[in-house]
Amino acid sequence: MASSSPDAPDAPWTRTRMAALNAQFEPHGPEAILNWAVHTFGDALAQGTGFGPSGIVIMHMLADLRPGTTVFYLDTDLLFPETYELSEDLDAQLDVDVTRVHGGLSLEEQAEQEGDELWNRTPNRCCFLRKVKPLKNFLADRRAWITGVRRDQSEARADADILSWVPRYGVFKINPLANWTQKEVWKYLFEHDLPYNPKHDQGYPSLGCVPCTEPVDGADGYTREGRWSDTDKTECGLHTSPGQADESQTAAES
Ligand code: SF4
């Protein structure tokens, strides 16, 4: 491949190259994007997932493209029992390395330091302690982070790029399903006979921690509905910049 190509391994990571790669990826399917990612970043790449439908599609593709790829999840100690069971099923079924990431802070220690049920009072602080901080530590020695973010999941995600640089974590972020729809994801899951979280059949479009996730009646099409439904919070902070996050969270991170 010519050195002027945005694909060239020795090409500098300029904004121009990133824009060219995004334009190049846009008409291609997720397998082509993931293929580029595994060849570009190798062992320094990891997929993060909460075992939602998009994450499972990506895990299945990675197991084929690069068996043994690290697929990590953030264990907040507050996930649904069905989510933990699904993680074990997928670990047994797919040739990827399912890795638990935990911040080391038990729920009891958090209650002692921050008070009981922090998620009810300052959910951004709780998400920072149980998700953002552990993620940052885990990604410190990685170069690329694959996620299941899709543009049709919420207004906040509607402009998501396929490839971006995340200064906060010092990694490239790859959203191979950015331009897929919910329907395409479920079609892939059924066609490949993949397991999924049974809570999705019980009215939960999106699954996070138990205290912050509710079933949704008559969902209006955004698949992040049901998360922090009594607040204006829509993201746990993993996919937002510190400037977009809660002040107390930002201060705590620095
Ligand atoms: S989703 Fe809720 S319980 Fe989970 S880390 Fe965030 S605030 Fe805490």
How far apart CA 107 and CA 22 sit, in angstroms, is: 41
Say yes or no: CB of residue 236 within 6 Å of ligand 1: yes
Q: What is the pLDDT of residue 123?
A: 94
Task: Please give the distance, rounded to the nearest whole angstrom, from the Cα atom of residue 127 to the centre of ligand 1.
Answer: 5
Q: Which atom belonging to ligand 1 lies closest to the Cα atom of 209? A: 4
Tell me the residue type at 120: N
Tell me the per-residue pLDDT of 17-63, one tens digit each, with 9 for 90 and over: 999 999 999 999 999 999 999 999 999 999 999 999 999 999 999 99
Band of the pLDDT at 130, cuts 50, 70, 90?
very high
**What pLDDT score was predicted for residue 206?**
87
Mean pLDDT of the chain: 88
Question: pLDDT tens digits for 140-178?
Answer: 999 999 999 999 988 888 999 999 999 999 999 999 999
Domains identified in the chain and CATH numbers: 15-253 (3.40.50.620)
Q: Give the pLDDT of residue 253.
A: 33
Which atom of ligand 1 is nearest to 131's Cα? Answer: 5
Q: b vs e for 78-107, b when ≥16 Cβ sit within 10 Å of the residue's Cβ?
A: bbbebbeebbeebeeebebebeebebebee
Ligand 1 center to 212 CA (angstroms): 6
Does residue 2 surpass a pLDDT of 50? no
The strands making up 45-48's β-sheet, listed across from edge to edge, are 97-101, 70-74, 45-48, 144-146, 171-174, 163-166
Known active-site residue 236: yes
Q: Is 126 in the pocket of ligand 1 (CB under 6 A)?
A: yes
- Which member of 126, 127, 209, 236 is catalytic? 236
Mutational test site, ligand 1, from 121, 126, 234, max ligand atoms within 8 Å of CB: 126
Q: Provide the pLDDT confidence category of residue 246 given band limits of 50, 70 and 90.
A: very low
Task: Pick the range with the lowest mean pLDDT from 57-66, 86-95, 97-106, 240-249.
Answer: 240-249
CB of 83 sitting under 6 A from ligand 1: no
Q: What is the pLDDT confidence band of residue 236, given thresholds at 50, 70 and 90?
A: low
Q: Is 225 exposed, middle or buried (0-12, 13-18, 19+ CB in 10 A)?
A: buried
Distance 142 CA to ligand 1 centre (A): 25
Q: How far does the centroid of ligand 1 lie from the alpha carbon of residue 209, in Å?
A: 6
pLDDT tens track for 179-230: 999 999 999 999 999 999 999 999 898 899 999 998 887 555 556 666 656 6
| Mean pLDDT value across residues 90-119 | 97
